[in-house]
Amino acid sequence: MISMNKQIYDFAVIGAGPAGMMAALHAAECGARVILLEKNRVPGIKLLMTGKERCNITSSESDVKNFISVFGKNGKFLMNALHRFGVRETIDFFHENNLSTKVERGGRIFPVSDKAEDIQQLFLKLLKKKNVTVQTNCKIKDIVCKSNIIEKLITDSGEIKAHNYLISTGGLSYPKTGSTGDGYRWAKAMGHKIIEPMPALTPVMGTLDEKWIKELEGLSLKNVKVSINQNNRKHDERFGEALFTSNGMSGPIILDLSKSIGALLAKGQVKLFIDFKPALDLDKLDRRILRDLDKYGKKAVKNLLLGLLPKKLIPVILHLTEIDPEKRASSVSKEERRTLRLYLKQFPLTINSLVGFNKAIITAGGVCLKEIDPKTMRSRIVENLYFAGEIMDLDGPTGGYNLQVCWSTGFIAGNSAAERE
């Protein structure tokens, strides 16, 4: 096979997502000769989709210990990377390159323009400025590795050789963007252990017999508490915003619970409960309902509930509680009141499945962290191989945490590879 270029690069980056672009850019800034390879027609395709195309670039949580705590036991792997290039450094990087940011609810940081495309275009401009060779529509057919050293890449149009290589191909989420698990296969072939990839931050689907879900499609909930139960035991809960879809639920707190839900589904049925009034305990809620029943005794129950629930939810609640919507408030029995109270505090939904990789924001699982040096992102198995971003076994909640992992690990990998020369 004829070589595409006689030049041997210092650093070949496979995958031009956020981690790959950050790694390529910083390696070039350190003086390395860098080639960035992307199988899509342009870099940063998945980046354009993040944060509903607004790009939630990071979280305002700048305390490293607090930041890594949301990643569970694997979070400590990020300690060094976040100390070297954390939230503060990320924000400074964008500001220094004339991209202004803003902080929104929940500490989510976005570009002021609300355009993910501005992030993509910034990286394309900087990569060009630093003379990074960017090759798109490039499909890697094979990675030739001998004696735990990568010798070259075989692409659909030739060979590429470098002193060091980075795999930053992401996970399996949003496969239409090119995330098809290639990186896992290559890493496994070179001796790495792959923790089974699973969809994370994904909507959930209810059971087919809960036909009322369709009636609630599009209903957005704020300041609610959602818990997940199995075998009458609560396993996890979140407070915040959620959304009913045509066949289940989505929204920030549902996405954050989806990993726990996925693990439980492997063992059996999962129940989800919504507390529409988390600020009120059962007794206080009961007194509130009783007060309203007394005050608006001549009104129909369906109208009385407008002060307690979103209008779209009322017919479903009354159907489930078997209370006649036209019944006068003064005629509601003690037992009906208790049933209503229960549904306001523990509204049930049976979870059938996760929506899957097609709509998952990220992938849980990936290259085992024990086989990666957290100080350099270099493989402990293949001497000249690095990893960065979602391909590693790291997944956090919504709110910019996962993109920050890409920026931090990409920075570390790029600098480490350049310093190794």
Q: Is 71 left (phi over 0), alpha (psi -120 to 50) or beta?
A: alpha
103-140, pLDDT tens digit by residue?
Answer: 998 899 999 999 999 999 999 999 999 999 999 999 99
Angle ∠(221,224,226) on CA atoms, nearest 5? 110
Model pTM score: 0.90
Q: How far apart are CA 47 and CA 53, in angstroms?
A: 8
End-to-end Cα separation, the chain, in angstroms: 27
- Match 């509903």 to its residue by tokens: 52
Q: Is 119 left (phi over 0), alpha (psi -120 to 50) or beta?
A: alpha
- Which of 189, 236, 181 is CA-nearest to residue 365? 181
Q: What is the CA radius of gyration of the chain?
A: 25
The answer to whether the beta carbons of residues 56 and 399 sit under 8 Å apart is yes
**Residue 271 structure tokens:** 């129940």
- Which of 124, 64, 126, 118 is CA-nearest to residue 89? 64
Q: What is the pLDDT of residue 352?
A: 87
Phi, psi of 70 (to 5 degrees): -75, -10
More confident position, 353 or 36: 36
Q: What is the mean pLDDT of the chain?
A: 93
3-state secondary structure of 222: strand
Q: How far apart are CA 242 and CA 410, in angstroms?
A: 32
Angle ∠(229,233,234) on CA atoms, nearest 5? 55
Question: For residue 356, what pLDDT band results from cuts at 50, 70 and 90?
Answer: confident
- Looking at this protein, which amino acid is placed at residue 291? R
222-241, pLDDT tens digit by residue?
Answer: 999 999 999 999 999 999 99
Phi, psi of 95 (to 5 degrees): -65, -40
Going along the chain from its start, the domains and CATH numbers come out as 9-200+362-419 (3.50.50.60), 203-355 (no CATH)
Helix (H) / strand (E) containing 337: helix 334-345
Instruction: Assess whether pLDDT exceeds 50 at residue 155.
Output: yes
Length of the chain: 421
Strands (E), 313-384: 347-354, 362-367
67-112, pLDDT tens digit by residue?
Answer: 999 999 999 999 999 999 999 999 999 999 999 999 998 899 999 9
Question: For residue 219, what pLDDT band results from cuts at 50, 70 and 90?
Answer: very high
Question: DSSP letter string over 8-39?
Answer: PEEEEEE--SHHHHHHHHHHHHTT--EEEE-S
Q: What is the pLDDT of residue 177?
A: 72
Give the mean pLDDT of 55-65: 95
Q: How far apart are CA 383 and CA 7, in angstroms?
A: 21
296-326, pLDDT tens digit by residue?
Answer: 888 899 988 888 899 999 999 999 999 999 9
Instruction: Assess whether pLDDT exceeds 90 at residue 5.
Output: no
Q: What is the pLDDT of residue 3?
A: 43
